[in-house]
Amino acid sequence: MTLSNAARLQFLSAIHPYDSMEPALLQSIAEAIEPQHFAPGAQIYGLSVPLSGLYIVHDGEVEVRDEHGVPVSLLGPRNSFGERGLLRDGVSLTSARAITDSTLLLLPADHFHRAMAQSPAFRRFFDRSRAPRPGKPDLATIRVEELMARAPLTCAPETHVQHAAEQMRDAHVSSICVTESGSLRGIATIRDMSGKVVAGGLSGNTPIAQVMTADPLTLPPSAIGSDVLHMMMERRIGHIPVCHGDTLVGIVTQTDLTRFQAVSSAELVAEIAHSGSAAEMATVTARIPQLLAQLVAGGNRHEVITRLITDIADTATRRLLALAEAELGAPPVPYLWLACGSQGRQEQTGISDQDNCLFIDDTMTDADAPYFAALAQFVCDGLNTCGYVYCPGDMMASNPRWRQPVRVWREYFNGWIKTPNPEAQMLASVMFDLRPIGGTTRLFEDLQAETLAKASANSIFVAHMVSNSLKHTPPLGLLRGFATIRSGEHKNHIDLKLNGVVPVVDLARIYALQGRLTQANTAARLEAATASGVLSKSGGRDLRDAYDLIAETRLEHQAAQVRSGARPDNFLSLADLSDFERSHLRDAFVVIKSMQSAVGHGRGMLG
């Protein structure tokens, strides 16, 4: 088939990003393009045929396969392919062949790179790196290490309170951290000095250790500013030491936050923390969809939005635990409430059910069981009232199976690892996302490390987990590279959660298992897997970019539904997307399918 320059120019002018180019640049591209015909079954590029440029499908169908020969996309007219190899200096991990008689337009590599340099629209379209959205830093994005005072006032435990007070006066600060060999032991504030020393009539020679708050709440330098604000509002404190492990590295106070505007999520956290019942909390959590829409409109990244929304669920859970203890009395033995699922990963959106469990100290007796049954029912009922509906699979602490002493939980994990049947794979997948919410954290710490070590060392269990992680596949098919839902309420839609976010969540969990990584959050797992070498830098970058695009598309979809007065869901109509958006979304799904193929072939990394 012969295409005139005018025909090529007309074809390109109807495709993004060529429709945004300067006329002179578009003209030069049209002149440089080489029409090529391929018969059915002909290879376009691959191991024996090097990639020489960017291909655009004029007519026909093209199948793209990954390095293992697994089909990842079927492309039709107006679709482009091959750019990933051009962005990797000509090295491509995919191959392509014609399915039907096909006419392709080849843009040579040198002209592709010239267009990347000269056209911002072209560069944005083909460069998959998704840099953080620009904007003024706020508490939702700034890290604690940027907020904290790096040389907090300190003293030894034996320091007299009078001398400590003199130090605080001379330094014009309202607190002093008590340390021993660099490790934080406690904190004393002006309130402690007035309320415990002066009002209590203590001698000025009293050791500071007697009036300090021992083992205070702390945050790591990697926490974000909203973590500080939420902790202060929920716990009614004004000073938070910052520690790297046990070592004190800084402190954040209320005055450190005054130059930043509090995000609206902090208001919800504060209201929930001071609520007297689940019904009161429900009036607050009902505003979460509107909060999501506001955060999306503000240009916040998806991991910031889901973190802030999850903070609200965490606060509601801890408040319900406190209300339960107020009603039932003090717990007979230590316990730990943990979240799994999206709350465990800190990835909640505008729609979330509850997934949780209860670890109880091994000193628990049969006589203690009714207390914890009542506590679990109180909290699960309260969460349901707040809109975190009961788990359809009954994976909640109100179910006796998920409310057990630590020794039983150890037996659970050991059994799942030794006998990885389908149920064990499913349960292990959920439980590897556990995150402590309220109670005694030591009940989980040793068990988490022990379980990761045993699981990663069992190759059969890992293989079963890998197989289980590949059950959710991206929606790639025949229609412009997408496979939509064929029937029912969501016909002709794609499920951005089940077929977009979940496959990445599953992959990240496998990387965490292989690397014995303790992170539960998906983005954090991908970063840790890349840093530890479990995932290659190029594979990690590509998968993170794909995850970012899909997760942000999901939140933008939910925000649009909220603004229109509809209930948010995960089902997206492709008709709502532009060619530009469809192309990027398809490429993101191709990345995920390629990474699934790599894991399925026994490789934890790609590229």
Task: Tell me, letter by letter, the H, E, C secondary structure of 395-411.
Answer: CCCCCHHHEEEHHHHHH
Residue 416: both structure tokens together? 């799942």
Would you say the pTM of this structure is higher than 0.75? no
Q: Where are the CATH 3.10.580.10 domain residues in the chain? A: 143-259
Q: Where are the CATH 2.60.120.10 domain residues in the chain? A: 5-126
Q: Where are the CATH 3.30.460.10 domain residues in the chain? A: 264-458
CATH code matching the domain that covers 143-259, chosen among 3.40.50.970, 3.40.50.620, 3.10.580.10, 1.10.10.10: 3.10.580.10
Q: Is 294 exposed, middle or buried (0-12, 13-18, 19+ CB in 10 A)?
A: middle
- 3-state SS assignment for residue 28: helix
Q: Which residues of the chain have pLDDT under 70?
A: 1, 68, 70-74, 87-93, 128-138, 258-264, 478-481, 602-607
Considering only CA atoms, which of 238, 240, 218, 233 is closest in space to residue 268? 233
CATH code matching the domain that covers 470-600, chosen among 1.20.120, 3.40.50, 2.70.98, 1.10.3470: 1.20.120
Considering only CA atoms, which of 141, 143, 142, 124 is closest in space to residue 221? 143
**CB 584, CB 129: distance < 8 Å:** no
Q: How far is CA 531 from CA 1, 284, 425, in A?
A: 49, 39, 27
Gap between the Cα atoms of 107 and 399, Å rounded? 61
CA angle 337, 340, 344 (to 5 degrees): 90
- 3-state SS assignment for residue 423: helix
Q: Which CATH architecture has domain 264-458?
A: 2-Layer Sandwich (3.30)
Q: How many CB atoms lie within 10 A of CB 192?
A: 21
Q: What is the DSSP string of 471-532?
A: SS-----SBTTB----SSTTTTEEETIIIIIHHHHHHHHHHHHHHT----SHHHHHHHHHHH
CA angle 7, 8, 10 (to 5 degrees): 65
Gap between the Cα atoms of 418 and 416, Å rounded? 6
Q: Where are the CATH 1.20.120 domain residues in the chain? A: 470-600
- DSSP 8-state class, residue 359: E
Gap between the Cα atoms of 302 and 548, Å rounded? 7
Residue 322: both structure tokens together? 């406190």
Handedness of CA 299, 303, 304, 307 (dihedral sign): positive
pLDDT tens-digit profile of 415-431? 999 988 888 888 888 88
CATH code matching the domain that covers 5-126, chosen among 3.40.1110.10, 3.40.1160.10, 2.60.120.10, 2.60.110.10: 2.60.120.10
Gap between the Cα atoms of 74 and 98, Å rounded? 10
